[in-house]
Amino acid sequence: MIGGVERRRENWAVEKTKVEVGGRTMIRYAWSGVTIPASDGATQRARVRGVMLVGVDGAVGFMLSTQDAEAHAAESLPLCERSLRTFRMK
């Protein structure tokens, strides 16, 4: 899952840690990079940062993700990650 984000970024950096969310052990990826423009011109180059939480529960795999432009990430990512961490499996 994180590989798909990495393929669309240059100057890639990622930090991987284990976290507990909703009673599940998940892998947390905190990443940063520069977007690679799409062939149709839909994406402009921009410095971005994000957080991805990846987990497995039995036969179900899941991914929770957020990202923002570097200029706004310091303010937005902590708020967004707090929201991601409210995730619960039934």
3-state secondary structure of 24: strand
pLDDT in tens, 9-61: 989 999 999 999 988 999 999 999 999 887 777 667 889 999 999 999 889 89
Residue 14 near residue 29, CB atoms below 8 Å: yes
Which pLDDT score, from 0 to 100, does residue 42 have? 65
Maximum distance among all alpha carbons in the chain? 42
Task: Please report the pLDDT score of residue 26 as a whole number.
Answer: 95
Q: Which pLDDT score is estimated for 37? A: 81
Any idea which of 13-17, 26-30, 72-76, 85-89 has the lowest mean pLDDT? 85-89
- Output the pLDDT for position 47: 93
The string over 44-82, giving b where at least 16 C-beta atoms fall within 10 Å of a residue's C-beta and e elsewhere, is eeeebbbbbbbbeeeeeeeebbbbbeeeebeeebeebbe
Amino acid letter, 18: K
Ordered by start, the domain boundaries in the chain are 2-84
